Structure 1
Amino acid sequence: MVGKHSKVKKNKPLLGNHQKCWIWGRNAVRETLSAGFWTIWELFLSDRLPAEELEELEACATKHSVPVVITSDKTLTQKCRAGDHQGMIAKMAPFPYADPEQIRQQTTGTPLYLILDRVQDPYNFGAIIRSAEILGTDAIFLGEQEQCDVTSLVCRTSAGAVNHVPLAQVPNLVAFCQQLKSEKINVLGTAMQAEETLVDYSFTHPTALIVGNEGTGLHPDLLAACSHLIRIPQQGQTESLNVAVSAGILLYEASRQRGFQ
């Protein structure tokens, strides 16, 4: 029970509990800090970092109004509960998902969207985001159910790419796909039984590419909502490709057809 003279401390909302509210590692922290997109509540830097690097990071933090604490490696490890922080950790606000309608209104030219159906492994999710950002995807749309959220592990696996490609949550992926089709955007799914291969499809058309769950693939309702189905040709004995690898192959083909050099 709080006494009437006690002060209740109101904490700012965080990304999550324990490790989830922290990101760490040189690439993830530096990209997130310099982008100024995802709010950092506090930046903690090791006192063993080179003086020039500390000065550079502090200047960038000041630019974005981020408080900086210089402390020991031991303190950083205790806070993020990980030893691979490379002398940089950041306490994060909840991830700022984009508005789906705003993304679609602001997308110009021939859009290339990526839709994720229940991707649950943070390593896969982060790797997909990294590939999508590098290969020119306009935005990534996620379902709200059974989908991995943007966590510190996702951010680190993406090497900070979460700051550079819009990510939006939608309540109903099937309804969203139907809406895209009504706007003349091809909804493209993958299936082993598809007649077309990825090189047969013209990615120069407005396209929303769907990749599915690691274990079960695309949900049957989403598969039925696709306007086109393609497959990635395979020669080996393994039943299927990892979802992050599949997404990378498909997005590379899209970029190649769109003039990626």
Structure 2
Amino acid sequence: MEIIFGVHPVTEAVRMRPADLDHVTVLSGPPNPRVAALMDLCRSEKIRVSSASREELQRMSRSENHGGAVAFLRERKALTIEDLLKPVAAKRFLLALDGVEDPHNLGALLRTADGAGVDGVLIPERRSAPITGAVAKASAGATEHVRVAKVTNLVRSLEDLKKQNIWIIGLDERGTMDYDQFDFNTDVALVLGREGAGLHDLTKRTCDFLLRVPMAGAVPSLNVSVAGAVVMYEAARQRRRAAAPAGAEAAPKPSKPRKGLGS
């Protein structure tokens, strides 16, 4: 059974796959507005809700950062690389992770992938953080929206993507081109490497291009989730601009605040 925790991840799980929910447990006592809204959503989907102490929730989730809500679900069906290639997008935008092992980095990357319009994410079965409750919490519920495929051999999978005319773009501090100089308005798979060590050598050799994020300070590189966010949103910006009608005016400033950083 899959266990996820945190109000955002649990809420998104109830919205996206209510049939998989066994039950939800929330913190005892008067609920705050977000937990109360989650309980109302569970009742509307006929999902059983129970309550427990803070210590019991900590034991269930194996985390002190449970956020006052824990959900118990049937484990989701694993996707394959073929699943990510269907339906056929006009211009595919994939993310491949070459051994990201920190659950918080993985969760942050999935959250960014959801926001930047990534079509799917490839992660290797070995030497990679699995999709756990901690990852779901760090992703703020994005794990329920981003399609993630586990692959046995990442390099072989990247070669398969090449056969589908998808460019393989690695991010490396020793890359030969700045990330904002590359034209992302095509079929691409962005490859990010391990914390600290970066891309494996064989993965590097498989990439068609190696891009870098230029650094003005003394530190040579960014954290993988931050670097990934920078490049994914540059790709999203380019693709959005290319899709805009010719002569379209800039979008007006919103009159109401939008959800975004820190929400």
> In 2 relative to 1, CA 212–62 (structure 1 residues): closer, same or farther, beyond 3 Å?
same
> In 2 relative to 1, CA 108–45 (structure 1 residues): closer, same or farther, beyond 3 Å?
same
Q: Which position in structure 2 is the counterpart of 1:111?
A: 92
Q: Deviations over 1:3-24 (max 9, x none)?
A: xxxxxxxxxxx23xxxxxx322
Q: Is 2:105 the counterpart of 1:128?
A: no
Q: Indicate if the aligned counterparts of 2:7 and 2:38 stay in contact, CA closer than 8 A.
A: no
Q: Deviations over 1:175-223 (max 9, x none)?
A: 1111111111100012233221111110001000000011221111111
Provide the rounded CA distance (Å) in 1 between the counterparts of 2:163 and 2:119.
Answer: 19
2:29 maps to amino acid:
R
Q: 2:72 aligns with which of 91, 104, 109?
A: 91
Unaligned 5+ segments in structure 2 are 242-250, 252-263
Q: 1:199 aligns with which of 155, 158, 180?
A: 180
Provide the rounded CA distance (Å) in 1 between the counterparts of 2:35 and 2:176.
Answer: 56
> In 2 relative to 1, CA 77–191 (structure 1 residues): closer, same or farther, beyond 3 Å?
closer
Aligned counterparts, 1:147-226, within 5 A: 147-226=128-207
Q: Indicate if the aligned counterparts of 1:97 and 1:166 stay in contact, CA closer than 8 A.
A: no
Normalising by structure 2, we get a TM-score of: 0.83
Normalising by structure 1, we get a TM-score of: 0.84
1:193 maps to amino acid:
R
How far did residue 56 of structure 1 move? 4.5
Q: Indicate if the aligned counterparts of 1:49 and 1:87 stay in contact, CA closer than 8 A.
A: no
Q: Kindly, what percent of the aligned residue pairs are identical?
A: 29
1:89 maps to amino acid:
V
Q: Which position in structure 1 is the counterpart of 2:247?
A: none
2:133 maps to amino acid:
S
Q: Which position in structure 2 is the counterpart of 1:101?
A: 82
Q: Is 2:237 the counterpart of 1:256?
A: yes
Q: Indicate if the aligned counterparts of 2:35 and 2:69 stay in contact, CA closer than 8 A.
A: no
Q: Deviations over 1:115-147 (max 9, x none)?
A: 001100001000000111011111101111101
Provide the rounded CA distance (Å) in 2 between the counterparts of 1:172 and 1:51.
Answer: 45
Q: 1:29 aligns with which of 10, 13, 20?
A: 10
Tell me the matched-pair count.
242
Q: Indicate if the aligned counterparts of 1:32 and 1:38 stay in contact, CA closer than 8 A.
A: no
Larger Rg: 1
Q: Indicate if the aligned counterparts of 2:168 and 2:209 stay in contact, CA closer than 8 A.
A: yes
Task: Report the RMSD for the aligned CA atoms in angstroms.
Answer: 2.3
> In 2 relative to 1, CA 246–55 (structure 1 residues): closer, same or farther, beyond 3 Å?
closer
Provide the rounded CA distance (Å) in 2 between the counterparts of 1:243 and 1:132.
Answer: 13
How far did residue 72 of structure 1 move? 4.3
Unaligned 5+ segments in structure 1 are 1-13, 16-21
Q: Secondary structure at the match of 1:252?
A: helix
Q: Deviations over 1:14-38 (max 9, x none)?
A: 23xxxxxx32222222122222279
> In 2 relative to 1, CA 233–91 (structure 1 residues): closer, same or farther, beyond 3 Å?
same
Q: Which position in structure 2 is the counterpart of 1:246?
A: 227
Runs of 4+ in 1 over 6 A off after TM superposition: 51-55
Segment of structure 1 superposing worse, 78-87 or 115-124: 78-87
Provide the rounded CA distance (Å) in 2 between the counterparts of 1:159 and 1:180.
Answer: 29
